[in-house]
Structure 1
Amino acid sequence: MKVLIVESEPNLADVWCRHLRRLNMDVSVATTQAEATLQIIETCPEVMILDLILKNGSALAVSDFASYRSPETQVIFVTNTSFFSDGSIFAHAQNACAFVQSETPPDDLAAMVEYYAARPPAHTA
């Protein structure tokens, strides 16, 4: 299973990456919008863990690009803010499948990745 982590904080991305690789997932990491778009083109991930607040770029632009270039990719948005806490992210990103806090335990995040990778995207119609 191919997973792309898009996270500006390298230490957090590393923690998530290690947990996913322990489950034999093929994991790529990007820290910017530009890196993320290249990784989407190269890997066509099944699931993307995407920090809503990127230091260099726009998470919504990354999500939109994935929706166009790799429509099967499902996005788990993570954040450490209350922005979109009303659930409206699902109205803005058609490939959003989950929205969690950055402090979510890595094992729980890995379980979510496994779950969503095994399901067909809800937005296919």
Structure 2
Amino acid sequence: MNVLIVQNDAKLGYIWQRHLQRHDHVADVALDQDSAINHLHEHYYPIIILDVVLEGGSAIAVADYASYRHPDARVIFVTNTSFFSDGSIFQLCANACAFVPIATQPEDLAAMVEHYAKTG
């Protein structure tokens, strides 16, 4: 399974990447909007782990581009803020499948990747 991780914090992104790789996933890390768009232009990712608050761009723009480029791709949003805690992310992004705290354990993210890949 190909997974794109879009996360400002390179250290955290690479921790998630290594954990997903241990579960036999191919995981790429993008640190900003432009890099994420480039990855989505070049590759198909059925699952995207996307930080809601991107310092280098807009998470909504990345989710929209993913929806356009790969309509069946699913997005697991992660955040360290209370922004969108009302669930409105699901109204803004049709490809949103989960919204979890950034502190979610890597093994739990891997389980969500596997779950949403099967249900997608």
TM over 0.5: yes
Pair 1:110 & 2:115 matched: no
Matches within 5 A, 1:18-97: 18-97=18-97
The number of residue pairs the alignment matches comes to 120
Aligned-residue offset at 1:15: 0.9
Percent identity between the two aligned chains: 53
> C-alpha separation between the residues in 1 aligned to 2:63 and 2:17?
19
- Runs of 4+ in structure 1 off by over 2 angstroms are none
| Partner SS for 1:38 | helix
1:61 alignment partner, SS class: helix
- TM-score, structure 1 length as denominator? 0.94
Distance in 2 between the 1:66 and 1:57 partners? 15
TM-score normalized with structure 2 length: 0.98
Q: State the secondary structure of the residue aligned to 2:24.
A: coil
**Which consecutive residues of structure 1, in runs of 5 or more, have no partner in the other structure?**
121-125
SS across alignment from 1:103: coil
Q: CA deviation digits over 1:27-63, x for unaligned, max 9? A: 1110010000010111110100000001100000000
In the alignment, structure 2 segments of 5+ residues that lack a partner are none
